[in-house]
Structure 1
């Protein structure tokens, strides 16, 4: 059974921030990690991912820089800022409150 995008919509930024807490990364690697963690039940569409990167960077939650690969195409890496870490923690707390409320309403 696959996870519908509607159930995850609105959490893309938090998912990306979570991946960047572990380490600096680039789009393909982040999407690959999401797929692996979900057993290939969910993936971020390329357009969604890069739109989120722009939004997060404009908000000061992440920064980008070019990698120094010697082979293949240069990659744009992303790193989380302190503001991004704080936003991630706030989003996780909000998710816990929301999940608790939904559980009360439907379970």
Structure 2
């Protein structure tokens, strides 16, 4: 929650049914549409409002890599400056072992 004003809020929803997924909504600064490189290794949002907080730029990169390693995915559903972000991780399709 490095990029959120206190009190930082996170909402986690788990949807069941035909297309199960996990959806995480935060109250952070959001990311402009032009900066959709947020899943790249070492990418960091530079926002003077937050005083350039410390970090490695690996959080979203590692999250996506883990999701993909287990056959899933992670993408940004919505993100806009000063309005937070919504990240979605659909359930990975089940593999049948032969």
TM-score (ref. length: structure 2): 0.29
Higher relative contact order structure (alpha carbons within 8 Å, sequence separation ≥ 6): 2
- Decide which structure has greater strand share: 2
